[in-house]
Structure 1
Amino acid sequence: MARRLDLREMPPSERHPKIHAAFDDLEPGETLTIVNDHDPKPLFYEFEAERDGFDAENYRSERRGSDEFVAKLPKQA
């Protein structure tokens, strides 16, 4: 099961707590997909440093438009 969050309409102050909660709800081997209005690279560094179970090697991010970035944050199996 994959989970998807579209954060573009969410206030910035609510985004990271929501992302962390959704990641915590994943089972090992599942992936959280986020849609954001900016490059989520700082989130990658945050997860890499702070989140046990984050599979940094399989993280993917893609720019799909001027205000659409899609990132996949996998949880280790």
Structure 2
Amino acid sequence: MPATTLDLRDVPPPERHPKIHDAFEDLEGGESLEIINDHEPKPLFYEFQAEVDAFDADNYEVACQGEGKFVAKLPKK
């Protein structure tokens, strides 16, 4: 499953969700958006689950890879 990666750690918080939504929209079905964040993106997961029909919540993954580095995979149906 191909992935596009966005490192959001240096992006101001108000700009993060719009960037994520735009990048996710550009994906083809079966692709994933990988984001690198400075905190666990649980609110983003709930937002996508509620608002984005193409989001494959069952295959969402997130891992802490050290202090201030969370990597999440948002797959598209």
Shorter-chain TM range is over 0.9
Aligned-CA RMSD value: 0.5
How many pairs align?
Answer: 76
Unaligned runs of 5+ in 2: none
- 1:15 deviation in Å? 0.1
Unaligned runs of 5+ in 1: none
SS at match of 1:10: coil
Aligned match of 1:26 = 27
- 1:18 deviation in Å? 0.1
Please give the per-residue CA displacement for 1:22-44, whole angstroms capped at 9, x wherever unaligned.
00000000000000000001100
SS at match of 1:61: strand
SS at match of 2:15: helix
Please give the per-residue CA displacement for 1:7-62, whole angstroms capped at 9, x wherever unaligned.
00000010000000000000000000000000001100000000011000000000
Moved beyond 3 Å, runs of 4+: none
Partners of 2:45 and 2:38 lie apart in 1 by: 15
Q: Identity across aligned pairs (percent)? A: 66
Give me the TM-score of the superposition, normalised by structure 1: 0.97
Partners of 1:42 and 1:66 lie apart in 2 by: 19
| Partner AA of 2:58 in structure 1 | E
Partners of 1:62 and 1:41 lie apart in 2 by: 12
- 1:66 deviation in Å? 1.2
Give me the TM-score of the superposition, normalised by structure 2: 0.97
Is 2:69 the partner of 1:72? no
SS at match of 1:35: strand
Aligned match of 2:61 = 60
